[in-house]
Structure 1
Amino acid sequence: MKAVLPVLAVACVVHCAPTTTSQTTNTEHSEKKLEMVGEFGDQQATGVAAAKNGRVFVNFPRWSDKVRYSVAEVTSGKVTPFPDEVRNTWDPASAADRFVCVQSVVVDSADHLWILDPASPMFQGVVPGGAKMVEVDLATNAVLRTIRFGADIAPTKSYLNDVRFDRERRFAYLTDSGLGAIVVVDLANGTQRRLLAEHPSTKAEKEPVSVAGQTLVVANGDRPQVHADGIALDPTGTWLYWHALTGRSLYRAKTADLRDASLTPDALGARVELVAKTHPPDGMEMDASGQLFLTDLEDSAVVRLDPNAPAAAPRIVARGPQLDWPDSLAFSPDGNYLYITASQIEHAPRFNQGVDRRTEPYRLWRVSLK
């Protein structure tokens, strides 16, 4: 059994009663326990990643002036800038070489940590030269390379949100939640393509979204439009799944089609499949058996869906007020635990007429899957 991060506090019991929302959801077990792994004070964590030896990493997007650093390793509940302090020191003049606004951290099958920086602080637009992915070898903590995204891949109003890796075929797949698109990166030669940018599968939907009983609206009363966000790759690398955050439709496409540069936009769009209707999710992750885990924003929960039986109701893995906007997911290396960040996004000023209703500390949780 691989090492896992020690738990810091007494477990919080979550009673998983059936949901009362319109989409029926079954309970995974009669009771699940959420365990607190880390507290971050006023640092709002979104992404989480777990390495093979149990090391855990989180990131803090630059959505406020409070951000002290962008990427950190969690050790005994404390956070340390990673991979070094210099890269985590904000300097607008050095956006190409320092972190600007990191949204996601992901560990690939080679045990390399990838840091995705959409470089759009405060959602005010991509800083020129700042959009990038940074690859770190966790055996040495050395940065191996930086893959940069130009304005053709990361336009000014884009927000590269999450990424999944196929090391065997040497490809990466990203979502853009700012404008709506899928980005495909050939890791062997650095070639990048922006796909499905005009396809409805990558776009937000018009239905209202409520989180913890609060309907999301921005200052002018409009509903926010957050496009392709959650992303997951099946264990064989055959299917890529994605979902808009403000939407209820889960889509997928064969990765072979996404990699096929000869397909026209219309031909590729025709091969996209609608898998299921779900509650609006933020993070998504797929386990080694091909089960899809999604955060459920409306129910402060995490659910499990079998893509091979999409008509079956999702099953609740964990639910409770601790999961206040469950954001990103990551499995422990042995697959026995699922890590969950709670980012409280619905309490941010943009959804509360300029008033910040978030409460500190921000926390990282995990739930046993055994």
Structure 2
Amino acid sequence: MRTTSLFFALVLAGACLSCGSAPAHAHAHAAQAPPAAQSEHHRADARLQQAARFDHQVTGVTVSETGRIFVNFPRWTEDSPVSVAELMKDGSLRPYPNEPWNAWRNVLRDELDPSDHWVCVQSVVADGRGSVWVVDPAAPPVDGLVPDGPKLVRIDLATDRVAQVVRLGQDVAIPGSYLNDVRFSIDGKHAFLTDAGQRGALVVVELASGKARRVLDGHPSTQPEKGVVVSTDGKPLRYPDGRKVLFAADSIALSSDGAWLYWKALTGHTLYRIQTAALTGKGLAGADVSSHVQAYGKVGPTDGLWIGRGTDTLYVTSIEDSAIKARDLSEGPDGRLRTVLQDPRLRWPDTFSQGPDGSLYVTTSRIQDSAFFTRDAPPALPTQLWRLPRPRD
């Protein structure tokens, strides 16, 4: 998300006044639809269950193989008191892995080491192998990197302790970067990330060594698509100064067999894919892999992608019409995109995860309601986590 430093400074100043003294332990709330949804409640889909409501803007969610749920809150337009948390059964949010890792604040940036604190977390992903990984692009409020802050961190779920920190240096997290989301190879040896920043790219990481490489840097597949305008609430989404949104490589998913990585720019309609072998081979070695990129049909502006466990079903968050949609990847690039669920409460459906019982979870980050785009937005934006039990599409 690009905007002026002055605008962010004003927004952040107001946000800090409201949340700088907030307690580290927060709570989720009972089911309550956001204001925009209450006026259209008759359109709500009974299949969609609210799992939690938060006091702050959420983006990422992940569910471990044992059913533990984790969420994260980026420092975009507010200095959130918690960056990464476990959603407990009683509705409380436990700072994860502990309070010290969550102690960093924008107002304390000169006092705490960004290399071992959450700075501006964008994504949390459980790997199904006993760990949860955290993507920290370290770019609050999406206005420049905090030196030594960008990192990919593994937390051991058995001990709730940080087990590995992959530092993403200036050759990977380049100026203007905003690392967005991550997926892991089937064998657990590699990570694949999207960079949605000023120059889109994919990032390949060899986890054992920590070696990381930018690939498809500036390639058309990782850039905002020319001519695409993202619309919400029936009108183009623009910054207060009139500029349209231009978000690069954002959505990412791995095929069930691990052979293909799918991604797309948020500001774009086209889905792309590449064989993971090309990324872990030629890509990690520094060779050009652009010839391996395949356009794989149109899905519209999306934020999150998810491939159903053991299936060829690709789920997408359709941000323009508050919907979850899906297509069968086995049908090829011309596969039909169908609506699984459309509900006005899904204001900017953001990130997917799937529980061990097959339920699909999705966050609503309400980006169109945030201070990025709405001058009278609250400094702390309430958001939600939703559950769709065992989708059949």
Normalising by structure 2, report the TM-score. 0.83
Q: Deviations over 1:313-341 (max 9, x none)?
A: 21222211111000000001122x11110
Aligned-pair CA distance for 1:10: 9.2
In the alignment, the residues of structure 2 paired with residue 99 and residue 176 of structure 1 have an alpha-carbon distance, to the nearest angstrom, of 18
Q: What secondary structure, in the 3-state scheme, does the structure 1 residue paired with 2:350 have?
A: strand
Letter in 2 for 1:160: L
Q: Structure 1 residues 176, 133: closer, same or farther in 2, change over 3 A?
A: same
Match of 2:210 among 190, 194, 210: 190
Root-mean-square deviation (CA), in Å? Answer: 2.4
In the alignment, the residues of structure 2 paired with residue 171 and residue 300 of structure 1 have an alpha-carbon distance, to the nearest angstrom, of 33
Q: Structure 1 residues 225, 282: closer, same or farther in 2, change over 3 A?
A: same
Q: What secondary structure, in the 3-state scheme, does the structure 2 residue paired with 1:155 have?
A: coil
| 1:54-203 to 2 correspondences below 5 Å | 54-75=67-88, 76-90=90-104, 91-92=108-109, 93-168=112-187, 170-178=189-197, 179-203=199-223
Tell me the number of residue pairs that the alignment of Structure 1 and Structure 2 aligns.
348
Q: Which residue of 2 aligns with 1:19?
A: none
| 1:204-353 to 2 correspondences below 5 Å | 204-205=224-225, 206-261=227-282, 267-288=288-309, 289-309=311-331, 310-335=333-358, 337-352=359-374
- In structure 2, the gaps of 5 or more residues are 1-28
- In structure 1, the gaps of 5 or more residues are 1-6, 17-30
Q: Structure 1 residues 262, 53: closer, same or farther in 2, change over 3 A?
A: closer
Aligned-pair CA distance for 1:361: 2.9
Aligned-pair CA distance for 1:265: 7.9
Normalising by structure 1, report the TM-score. 0.88
In the alignment, the residues of structure 1 paired with residue 65 and residue 207 of structure 2 have an alpha-carbon distance, to the nearest angstrom, of 22
Regions of 4+ moved over 4 Å: 7-16, 262-267, 357-360
In the alignment, the residues of structure 1 paired with residue 277 and residue 42 of structure 2 have an alpha-carbon distance, to the nearest angstrom, of 41
Contact 1:40 1:79 in 2 (8 A): no
Q: Structure 1 residues 71, 264: closer, same or farther in 2, change over 3 A?
A: closer
In the alignment, the residues of structure 2 paired with residue 164 and residue 32 of structure 1 have an alpha-carbon distance, to the nearest angstrom, of 31
Q: Structure 1 residues 355, 10: closer, same or farther in 2, change over 3 A?
A: closer
Percent identical: 41
In the alignment, the residues of structure 2 paired with residue 252 and residue 140 of structure 1 have an alpha-carbon distance, to the nearest angstrom, of 36
In the alignment, the residues of structure 1 paired with residue 283 and residue 70 of structure 2 have an alpha-carbon distance, to the nearest angstrom, of 38
